[in-house]
Amino acid sequence: MKNLLWSISVLSLLLFAACQSKDASLATQITEQAAAAEANVPEFTTTGTNLSNLVDQVQKVPDALKKDTASNYELVQRRIVTFQPKYDKLNGDYESLLQQMKTLSADYAAGKIGTDEAKKKYDEISAELKSIGEHLKSYQETYNQFSADYAKMMADFKGSTESN
């Protein structure tokens, strides 16, 4: 009976240790996801900077353009100015999730969290990172459209002032 109880205890400890051991595949997934997300940061940051510059440009147009109702200045200006905080928030959320992914990778590698918890957190963070990354990429297309709208508005204005 003593041997059976001892065997069950040892088996339980071994089973517990096996469950707490690191899954190399999961560790690789976490690391690769963090690296892939990190690779997007410069592009997203550049778009944020360009958007900020575009907001500045839109707000510094000549007064004559602001008063010209045919120019659609108010619409272009409102769309660009209201878009910037949305982009900045989403970009901030992305960087925060990236930091969470890096922390998860470090904590899992250090054995601070077990495989089950790491897998659960990875799934949550990864899904959000992917979703926000896709939104930021579509927002980059929106920025490109806003930039083209601004350029057209300015070209049309310059053309109309030169013909007068």
- Mean per-residue pLDDT, 102-122: 95
Q: 17-69: per-residue pLDDT in tens? A: 444 567 899 999 999 999 999 999 999 999 999 999 999 999 999 999 999 88
**pLDDT at position 21, please?**
60
- 22 HSE (CA, 13 A, CB side): 17
**pLDDT at position 12, please?**
36
d(CA 126, CA 105): 12
Q: Give the single-character DSSP code of 112.
A: S
Least confident span in 19-23, 98-102, 148-152? 19-23
Cut 0.75: pTM above it: yes
- Are 30 and 104 in contact by the 8 Å Cβ rule? The answer is yes
- Mean per-residue pLDDT, 98-116: 95
